[in-house]
Chain A
Amino acid sequence: AQSVSQHNHHVILSEAASLELGCNYSYGGTVNLFWYVQYPGQHLQLLLKYFSGDPLVKGIKGFEAEFIKSKFSFNLRKPSVQWSDTAEYFCAAAGGTSYGKLTFGQGTILTVHP
């Protein structure tokens, strides 16, 4: 069965700390990978996506993610977080025989203290 798992439920950091959120997926065949962010009171927004090509993808607001096929991972990183990065982050995958249908991880709540 297709699945996505996120390693951490809640991460607490101070401003300027580095961030890495783990994501592992289980999919047969080609997979497209996404990170979405949900700021308090707002809808899900796309941070970045990987379809093919360079496994290091850059997204908005200084976020990046690395696709490591051998590890079935797509971890999200940011060198220096800001208070405004406080949000919930979701890793998602689409692929197999049903391109478009997203399978989400359970989400990671990031709290950044000023």
Chain B
Amino acid sequence: DTGVSQNPRHKITKRGQNVTFRCDPISEHNRLYWYRQTLGQGPEFLTYFQNEAQLEKSRLLSDRFSAERPKGSFSTLEIQRTEQGDSAMYLCASSRGGNQPQHFGDGTRLSIL
């Protein structure tokens, strides 16, 4: 169990730029989740995948956000035309199934200048 890996750990960008984050789940975990956490709050659900299928998206996920998991392994989360309000910690988690505990990565902290 090598854990959930997220890259980069920290991303600083100017408003209006596009950013992409990567998440490598624990191998053989078929579920992968993305959450967003802002200061003083708990993580908020964004979206999740069962293998390569994206099964649910939160209303928090505007049209500027897109997530993929093309081969059912790693996933990417892209934010286009970043805004100040996108500054947050983006967390990835994986699990063996819907009722199994989720294992979290260290997150990618996004800072918008």
Segment with Cβ contacts to A, from B14-22, B66-74, B78-86, B98-106: B98-106
Segment with Cβ contacts to B, from A13-21, A63-71, A72-80, A102-110: A102-110
Q: Name which of A45, A94, A100 has the most chain B CB atoms within 10 A of its CB.
A: A100
User: Does A44 reach chain B (CB closer than 8 Å)?
Assistant: yes
Return the contact of A104 from the options B4, B42, B99, B105 (Cβ within 8 A).
Answer: B42
The residue in chain A whose Cβ has the minimal distance to the Cβ of B58 is A101
Using known A-B contacts A43-B107, A44-B91, determine if residue A102 contacts B41 with beta carbons closer than 8 Å. Answer: no
Question: 7 pairs across A/B with beta carbons < 8 Å?
Answer: A9-B40, A43-B104, A43-B106, A100-B95, A104-B35, A104-B43, A107-B40
User: Across the interface, which residues of A come within 8 angstroms of B98, CB to CB?
Assistant: 99-100
Whole-angstrom CA separation of A43 from B31 in the bound complex: 18
Q: A9-B40, A43-B105 are in contact. List 11 more A-B contacts (CB 8 A).
A: A4-B42, A43-B4, A46-B102, A90-B42, A99-B99, A100-B98, A100-B102, A101-B45, A102-B102, A106-B41, A107-B42
User: Does B44 reach chain A (CB closer than 8 Å)?
Assistant: yes
Q: Once the chains bind, are B42 and A46 in contact (CB under 8 Å)?
A: no
The residue in chain B whose Cβ has the minimal distance to the Cβ of A38 is B104
Q: Once the chains bind, are B42 and A105 in contact (CB under 8 Å)?
A: yes
User: Does B56 reach chain A (CB closer than 8 Å)?
Assistant: yes
Return the contact of A51 from the options B45, B95, B99 (Cβ within 8 A).
Answer: B99
B interface, CB within 8 angstroms of A: 3-4, 31, 33, 35, 40-45, 48, 56, 91, 93, 95, 97-99, 101-107
Which 7 pairs between the two chains have the least Cβ-Cβ distance?
A104-B42, A100-B98, A44-B104, A99-B98, A43-B106, A43-B104, A46-B101
Q: Once the chains bind, are A100 and B48 in contact (CB under 8 Å)?
A: yes
Q: Once the chains bind, are B31 and A100 in contact (CB under 8 Å)?
A: yes
Q: Once the chains bind, are A100 and B99 in contact (CB under 8 Å)?
A: yes
The residue in chain A whose Cβ has the minimal distance to the Cβ of B99 is A99
